[in-house]
Amino acid sequence: MAKYKLGDFVRFVDEKMEGFVTRIIDDQMIGVTGEDDFEIPVLASKVTTVHGYIAAGTKKDDITDEQPVQAGEFKTKGVYIGVVNDPKANSVVHFYLVNDTSFQLLASLTTEKTNTFKGEYSGIAAPNTATKIYSAQLADLQLWPKFTFHILYHTKQNAEPPAPLVVNEKYKAKDFSGSKKLIPVLKTQGWLIQLDEAELVIDAQKLKESFFQSPDEKAIVEKPGNEVDLHIEKLRNDHQFLNSGEILKIQLDHFHKALDAAIVHQLPEIIFIHGAGNGTLRHEIHKLLGKHQKIQTFMDARKEKFGYGATKVMLK
């Protein structure tokens, strides 16, 4: 049986269908997701790899001879794990070892789950390269194994290598709740995790200032836009890990902050885009607006543009 990997592009043997491998179920079964984003369990023997398609991150540049770097330009920090969505199979994420230092790195990744260890990757990462070392289903994050990274530094130049790195991580949803960043070397958006964290330096003066801030200092309330989108995917990157109650709370908190900001800035009106859905968020917003003393009236906003998915609020 062919050994498929997450993100591989495959075609069904008996049907005119093709898609991306988005789940490895066991040694015999895989999950394949087509253009309709619906995942189909299928025997691995019933699909075949589509030749000519190069999955994201599968190209790996050969390591060339080390190029000399000027002493003042030699970078000793910058070892990251970059986690990016597969551009075709969005439910799959790829882990890249990003070497933004001037050292060559001898790297190893081992996973552990229920006392079962598996060597996932070993190799040499040249300076200024990004190498794919692991792939996983983002929705299965709570089932991911523990990751152990071993990093050794090497250079032919006159530079003292740092001590070897050993990093143990069990990733949680909060690690992917922040906004995506531009990943060095890869030049694409994703979650960035630094393995060679810089030592924490405490600025005594800033710490002192934080204790003696004037009570008269007021937080600056930013002026909201005329339209506020409350769709959860616009508010949180980790929305796939949240239940319906948590999603509703986040949406209502954002609604309250935007409404308060509109009142502070004396806006005449503001539109909240809540979507049609099952109507729960719309109902909660209308219930709160009906009791608010600063609200003149509210109504469904421009049905031709939003349908019943937005509410226009007129402020006093």
pLDDT in tens, 172-197: 887 887 778 899 999 999 999 999 97
Residue 83 banded pLDDT, cuts 50, 70, 90? very high
From the candidate CATH numbers 3.30.1370.110, 3.40.225.10, 2.40.50.1070, 3.30.70.360, the one assigned to the domain spanning 227-315: 3.30.1370.110
The pTM (predicted TM-score) of the whole model is: 0.53
As assigned by CATH, the class of the 73-194 domain is mainly beta
CA nearest to 23, candidates 97, 10, 13: 10
pLDDT the model gives residue 53: 57
pLDDT the model gives residue 57: 44
Over residues 234-283, the pLDDT tens digits come to: 888 877 778 888 888 899 999 999 998 888 888 999 999 888 777 888 88
Over residues 125-168, the pLDDT tens digits come to: 999 999 999 999 888 888 899 999 999 999 999 889 999 999 99
For the cut 70, the answer to whether the pLDDT of residue 94 exceeds it is yes
Q: Where is pLDDT greater, at 27 or 155?
A: 155
Give domain limits for the chain.
9-49, 73-194, 227-315
pLDDT the model gives residue 66: 56
pLDDT the model gives residue 11: 87
Residue 89 banded pLDDT, cuts 50, 70, 90? confident
